[in-house]
Amino acid sequence: MNNLKRVLSLGLVGTMLSGMMVMGASAADFTDVDKIQHDEAVNVLVALKVVDGKPDGSFDPEGDVTRSQMAKMIAVAMNGGSEANTGTKTTPTYTDIKGHWAESYIEYCADLGIISGRGDGTFDPDANVTGLEATKMVLTAMGFDAEAYKLTGAQWAVRTDEVARTMTGTQEGEPNMYEDLAGVMMAANASRDTAAQLIWNGLQNRTRTVQPTTTSGGGVEWTYVTNSTSLLKQRYDAEVKEGQFKGNEKTGATTTEGEIVVDNWSFPSDFDISNIGETVKVVYKEGKGGVTGPDKKDTILGVFNANKSQVVKATLNDVADAKDDLKKGKIKVAGTLYEIDDKVTVHTNYGESSKDYTTAKAIQDDLKKVNGDAIKVVINDDNKVTDIYLVQSYLAKVTSVTSSKITLSGIGTIDLEDNDVAEGLKKNDVVVVTSIYAEKTKTDDAHYTVAKAEVVEGEITSFEGTKSVAIDSENYKIREENLGNYKNVVDDAYTGFDGNIGNTVAAYLVNGFVAVVNELESGASDWALVIASNGKNWDATKMDQGRVQLLKPDGSKPTYNVDEKSDIQLAKDSVAISNLIKYSVTNDGTIKIKTAQSTTAANGQSDKDASFVKVTGGDLVWDDDTKMLGDVAVAASDAVLFVNTSADATADYKYYSLRNLGDIKATDAAGKDEAKDVAYVKDSSGRILYAYVDLGRVPGGATADTLYGMITTDLRTVKVGDEQYKQATVWTQDGEKTIKVDADYVGSDASKLDLKKGAYISFKETSDELYDKTTGEMKVLAANVTAAAVNSVLDVAVDSYSESDKTLSYYVKGQLEKTLASGVFEAKDGENAKVNALDKDAVIVYVDRDNKKGLDDVGISAFPETKGYANAKLVFDTEKTNKIVAIIFNANNDTDVNGNEVALGNEEKAPAVAVTSADLSKDAVEITAADTAADAITVSNIKPDNATDKTVTVESADDTKVIASVSGTTITVKTAAGLTNSANGTVKVTVKVGGVQVGEITVTINIA
């Protein structure tokens, strides 16, 4: 099992790293690149213009090559990548080539003695070329004269094979003619892949020259000369150099972006970084003015792994104790001892860091771990280890995903386009992350590979301290490093398993090793809430079976018959509505109830997993800070809370993710103190799995999980059950969310939510997407453009935003003025921008207010000075007036953040906005004594919200009897001093806001 996991993990790392950079040569562009076996040959020949692809974008590596096609490839290669322009002959060399598309290529090769016909005067251009025929063509192109080397006659094939095997590849760096072609039947038809490799092998070899001399007897003697340069050098002025690939600018090998370093040569290339430390070939054409060897002035035709380096690919777990051999300077990797060089450099994550070692013991001490992180050990020609490359992986949780970005816990936000991120990831997924080039939190510098973590679920059957754990009898080694460091990734982390045998867990693996274990609830599918029951016992003689309807943790509401052999009967054991029950489904679809738990002790059940607690008035039923239910226990990460949300006799049962809720106090729907009984279920480790409370209201969401955003769609009426809701889409910091608000609570008056497309809202997400006004789960973020106060929402013109210290500098209304000469808004003399800090959990939502749509992260920029619009809406902490918890930033400068074309700092130039209406808390009062003040009358809901003048004024129809005064929006009326009952009667008081009459107050004087 573990060996398999190790192999798989190495394969995964290899796959991840190989995908990080695309080779510069263009074989990768072919649609059938996976079928190409000799990618180096194809890449170089494409660059040299010797071969190209098919019209459909493929290379067709397995396709046959004709004799004419082979002639063309060799002719082009002999001309340095240019077309042979020798033309055709009046009398063709071969009788069957006149008018053939390859006639000129065939004539060119015939003139050079590279090809020969069939012996009957024909060339047979459209016949498939065999591997031996292709080999002979390449050999003769290299100067192996057919007559001199006896490549003609009946034994031509045998002789060609002999010359190819014994007379090529004789100098270091030269490949044998059959290099990388072992196992190919050369007498069979040559494929395009084989032909490419033959030509590339030939190009790298030195050419031959032969000189015939006639002997005195009339015979011929041959002088054989091996030239000093390769065919590649002669025909292309190109060369092949070999050296160690040392990295690129991201690994620190060079400071020039886009270049790599091989030995001491630096030149442009995007060669695959997974080859680092190994011997590579560089094929290049020397430019003018450069150094000897490849450099930026040369044409780089290709970089390829020479496959000459001794490389051991393993994991940290494969580093074993070398024991006595440590003193001899040896380390043990994957069962083999390797001597170390005078200095060994361990490179971590391809450039994040490196460390030099001079002793084998120091290397073993640092690298010998029970850990699946990949290592590559590079061994030099003296059979000594010189370099070790370590690539680390770790767990993270996805905290948000958009169309272009993903945010990971402990790392930050990274671009999908620039990194290798698996498709289909969503919020709260646990993922394995590999980062190279920089520390994992340096999101702009590092390159990330992100894949969903492998998870093994099952029951713990055994364990060995913190070394290994068996899940469903399958043994897994525990990752030695970082164990217990992932509490923010999954709900809990265990460094040991004492007392947990038999528990159901989810083990998250990193490269085949357990990084963290999260204990799951016991029997997730077999606990539910009874929401309806006929209350009958099973009675075989009456056939009137007991029935229950359940609310399950997945939101479904199935109805079951209760099995006759159920451990618990409904009426007999007082199982009723609002009981939590543990059950199993039988083969015939009935259920057996194993345990029932209510909010009282009436049923007498003593199941150790179930209990109840009474929470007194005003105390916390659920504490969001401690994640505890009452003072009983901490809730599991996926604990479910069932709630009766109705305050009247008609129950309305809903379910919630307990950890997504804010504080829940023991109060009734009106907020008055009231004791609450809470039934709950714990697992064997003492964590809450399920709970039920008759709350009489909908619980609010957690403050830290409050979503902020803008409604981006028109409201639609939908039906959920028997109720009508208004549905819309909201763009939030977590992307698009759907809301359904009780239709009775949507409207423009003060008692309702004024929801419409373009409205800004905050809400605490519920599991069922349903909201109503009474719960306080949702608020409309109304504009307040004067000053920040508790619970305020402030429209501002952004001056600047500091990402590093999380502060925002901004102007509010009245702090800006327009410079007449330039028409540009700027700060008033003596008025500095306000600066406030963002809360540590502050969120930023980006919108295009004019088009009423959400945007991905575009950054916060200064307000448009030529217009002076407020371009951001700030939400302040409910307790601290100087701390920002949310910013909604409008990136479209066509309008302000509310969609208006109103200059923030030029009120006298802006169109006047008048009051249209307002609400009075009462429109009639009675006064029964002289000089007595009536109850205060308040003015509220002044419309429109952005009216330029909201001053409240009053006017008494007879101020000798009734005196009215105003303080802010509070009106006080009283009778004049000294009145008697002769003044009894009514007096009207007119109320105006911003000069607009909004109502009248009828004052009745009734003095005894």
Tokens of 724: 């009508």
The answer on pLDDT for 365 being more than 90 is yes
> What is the residue type of 523?
G
> What is the residue type of 895?
T
End-to-end alpha-carbon separation of the chain, Å?
99
> How far is CA 177 from its chain centroid?
48
Residues in the chain, total = 1008
pLDDT greater at residue 302 or residue 587: 302
Across 432-446, 457-471, 636-650, 857-871, the highest mean pLDDT is recorded for: 432-446
Confidence of residue 587 (pLDDT cuts 50, 70, 90): low
pLDDT of residue 149: 93
The answer on pLDDT for 768 being more than 70 is no
* 8 A C-beta contact, residue 260 and residue 267: yes
The answer on pLDDT for 983 being more than 70 is yes
Please count the other Cβ atoms lying within 10 Å of the Cβ belonging to residue 235: 20
pLDDT of residue 25: 36
CA-based torsion, 212, 215, 220, 221: positive or negative: negative
C-alpha to C-alpha distance for 450 and 461, rounded to whole angstroms? 31
The answer on pLDDT for 958 being more than 50 is yes
C-alpha to C-alpha distance for 937 and 941, rounded to whole angstroms? 13
CA-based torsion, 866, 805, 730, 700: positive or negative: negative
Please count the other Cβ atoms lying within 10 Å of the Cβ belonging to residue 531: 19
Q: What is the DSSP letter of 119?
A: S
pLDDT of residue 201: 94
pLDDT of residue 906: 47
> What is the residue type of 763?
F
Closest listed residue to residue 136, CA positions, set 108, 168, 104 = 168
C-alpha to C-alpha distance for 860 and 844, rounded to whole angstroms? 9
Q: Cβ neighbours of residue 953 under 8 Å, at least 6 residues apart?
A: 966, 991, 992, 993, 995
H or E element at residue 874: strand 872-876
Tens of pLDDT, residues 10-63: 333 333 333 222 233 356 678 888 899 998 899 899 989 999 888 899 999 999
Q: What is the DSSP letter of 612?
A: E
pLDDT of residue 554: 73
The residue-averaged pLDDT of 501-517 equals 82
Closest listed residue to residue 206, CA positions, set 235, 239, 232, 180 = 232
* 8 A C-beta contact, residue 674 and residue 691: no
What CA–CA distances, in Å, run from 226 to 32, 103, 179, 721? 39, 31, 20, 91
Confidence of residue 205 (pLDDT cuts 50, 70, 90): very high
C-alpha to C-alpha distance for 900 and 70, rounded to whole angstroms? 72
C-alpha to C-alpha distance for 181 and 277, rounded to whole angstroms? 26
Only one residue has tokens 């809202």, namely: 761
Transcribe 725-744 into DSSP letters.
EEEEEEEETTEEEEEEEEGG
* 8 A C-beta contact, residue 746 and residue 715: yes
> What is the residue type of 323?
K
At what angle are helices 192-204 and 131-141 packed, to 10 degrees? 20
Mean residue pLDDT of the chain comes to 83
pLDDT of residue 834: 82
Tens of pLDDT, residues 459-478: 777 777 678 888 888 989 98
> What is the residue type of 249?
E
The answer on pLDDT for 912 being more than 80 is no
pLDDT of residue 575: 73
H-assigned helices in 555-619 = none
Q: Is the peptide bond before 92 cis (omega within 30 degrees of 0)?
A: no
Tokens of 994: 């911003």
C-alpha to C-alpha distance for 72 and 79, rounded to whole angstroms? 11
Only one residue has tokens 């490799």, namely: 197
Tokens of 263: 């030995």
Only one residue has tokens 């939502």, namely: 845
The residue-averaged pLDDT of 730-742 equals 90
Closest listed residue to residue 396, CA positions, set 421, 436, 432 = 432
Only one residue has tokens 């809720």, namely: 661
The answer on pLDDT for 704 being more than 70 is no
Please count the other Cβ atoms lying within 10 Å of the Cβ belonging to residue 682: 24
C-alpha to C-alpha distance for 375 and 317, rounded to whole angstroms? 10
The residue-averaged pLDDT of 336-349 equals 95
Transcribe 831-848 into DSSP letters.
-PPEEEEEEEEEEEEEEE
Closest listed residue to residue 30, CA positions, set 180, 182, 190, 192 = 192
The answer on pLDDT for 65 being more than 90 is yes
Closest listed residue to residue 574, CA positions, set 543, 611, 601, 607 = 601
CA-based torsion, 335, 336, 341, 342: positive or negative: positive
Question: Is residue 857 exposed (0-12), middle (13-18) or buried (19+ Cβ within 10 Å)?
Answer: middle
Question: Is residue 622 exposed (0-12), middle (13-18) or buried (19+ Cβ within 10 Å)?
Answer: buried
Distinct helix (H) and strand (E) counts, the chain:
9, 61
pLDDT of residue 521: 44
Give the residues across from 561 on adjacent strands: 547
At what angle are helices 67-78 and 192-204 packed, to 10 degrees? 30
pLDDT greater at residue 160 or residue 754: 160
* 8 A C-beta contact, residue 488 and residue 516: no
H-assigned helices in 167-297 = 192-204, 231-236
C-alpha to C-alpha distance for 961 and 816, rounded to whole angstroms? 47
pLDDT of residue 15: 34
The answer on pLDDT for 733 being more than 70 is yes
> How far is CA 214 from its chain centroid?
78
Tokens of 318: 């494969």
The answer on pLDDT for 305 being more than 80 is yes
Q: Cβ neighbours of residue 910 under 8 Å, at least 6 residues apart?
A: 902, 903, 948
pLDDT of residue 773: 54
pLDDT of residue 315: 95
C-alpha to C-alpha distance for 305 and 245, rounded to whole angstroms? 9
The answer on pLDDT for 275 being more than 50 is yes
Q: What does residue 459 show for φ and ψ, rounded to 5 degrees?
A: -100, 135
* 8 A C-beta contact, residue 429 and residue 391: no
Is pTM, for the whole model, over 0.85?
no
Closest listed residue to residue 837, CA positions, set 810, 871, 862 = 810
Radius of gyration of the chain (CA): 41
Q: Residue-wise over 140-171: b if at least 16 C-beta within 10 A, else e?
A: bbbbbbbebbebeeeebbebbbebbeebbbee
